Amino acid sequence: MSNELSLEEAELHEREMALMEMEAELHERESGLEGMEQAFSKQNKALSNLVSYVTDQEASLRSRAEAMGAQAVELVEELLAGAETVDPSDLAGADIDEERRVMIERRNELLELRSQIVEDREAIFEARHAAIENLEASVGGLEASLLEQEKRVSDALRQLITSASSFMSEDGDGDDDQEGDTASAAGGTGVTRTERTSEVVPREAFTVIAGEAPARTEASLKAEHESKQRARQAARNKD
């Protein structure tokens, strides 16, 4: 589930980055359009001033014609009859300020929403970070416990192997006592203890160096013990 969420977050991040690139490109285009609007505003203002000037000149001309009489007025009317009248409202341009104002409000609302989303993402990030740290601490404690347990098992195994020779020696002493009783019961058979035990496999030297495990393994000790048992059985058969 965590991997699926990570994939979804990565895909969402890519879409967000693509959208941010589109917004940056649109901002550049808007900046360029702003320059065009400023240039148009200057030109429009100059034309508006010219319209006012021409209108004032026309009004002054008509006034002077009226002062000169009917013929002058008729002449002025004939001369101005073919002129195209310019309405100052034609120079107002495309008035989209209201649409721009609405868009600014929507962008402000979206910015507030995105800011809230970023804050929520930050809170989730902090929670995930704390959870991961807790898990790491828990796993670290478990690992330390396992390593300690492994060390105990290893130490116990070394102690067991080191003490194996003494365990076998105690077992051998008990067997020797039992052989002594058997020899006494044999009486006059003429077979001495030396003869009965002459076939016993002698023990090998078992040297333990301090701090090290003995060279002989449990398997070799077991084999030696079985050989002794067979030798004792052979001695009993002779009896």
- Phi, psi (degrees; rounded to nearest 5) at 25: -65, -40
Cα 75 from Cα 65, distance rounded (Å): 8
Q: Is residue 82 in a domain?
A: yes
Q: Is residue 140 in a domain?
A: no
Average pLDDT of 161-181? 65
Q: Residue 96 pLDDT > 80, yes or no?
A: no
Taking only the tens place, the pLDDT of each residue in 40-50 is 788 888 888 88
Q: Is residue 99 in a domain?
A: no
| Per-residue pLDDT at 90 | 65
For residue 36, how far is the Cα from the chain centroid? 48
Structural domain count of the chain: 2
Query: Which range of residues forms the domain containing residue 166?
Result: 160-238
Tokens of 35: 């320059």
Q: Residue 188 pLDDT > 90, yes or no?
A: no
Q: Is residue 69 in a domain?
A: yes
Q: Is residue 106 in a domain?
A: no
Cβ(164)–Cβ(225) under 8 Å?
Answer: no
Average model confidence (pLDDT) for the chain? Answer: 77
Cβ(120)–Cβ(76) under 8 Å?
Answer: no
| Per-residue pLDDT at 193 | 44
H or E element in which residue 160 lies? helix 97-186
Q: Residue 216 pLDDT > 70, yes or no?
A: no
pTM of the model: 0.44
Confidence of residue 30 (pLDDT cuts 50, 70, 90): confident
Cα 29 from Cα 44, distance rounded (Å): 22
Q: Domain ends where: 42, 77, 92?
A: 92
Cα 53 from Cα 47, distance rounded (Å): 10
| Per-residue pLDDT at 192 | 44
Length of the chain: 239
| Per-residue pLDDT at 211 | 44
| Per-residue pLDDT at 88 | 64
Q: 2 and 88 in one domain?
A: yes
Q: Is residue 60 in a domain?
A: yes
Q: Residue 120 pLDDT > 90, yes or no?
A: yes
Q: Is residue 108 in a domain?
A: no
Tokens of 231: 């030798």
Q: Is residue 132 in a domain?
A: no
Q: 167 and 85 in one domain?
A: no
Taking only the tens place, the pLDDT of each residue in 61-77 is 989 999 999 999 888 88
Number of C-beta neighbours around residue 236 at 10 A: 12
Q: Residue 182 pLDDT > 70, yes or no?
A: no
Cα 85 from Cα 55, distance rounded (Å): 9
- Concatenate the DSSP letters of all residues of 52-104 into one string: HHHHHHHHHHHHHHHHH-HHHHHHHHHHHTTPPPPPGGGGS----HHHHHHHH
Q: Residue 142 pLDDT > 70, yes or no?
A: yes
Cβ(208)–Cβ(200) under 8 Å?
Answer: no
Q: Domain ends where: 73, 92, 111?
A: 92
53-57, 65-69, 181-185, 229-233: range with lowest mean pLDDT:
181-185
Sequence letter at residue 23: E
CA distances from 148 to 44, 144, 158, 160 (A): 87, 6, 15, 18
Rounded percentage of the chain residues whose pLDDT exceeds 70: 70
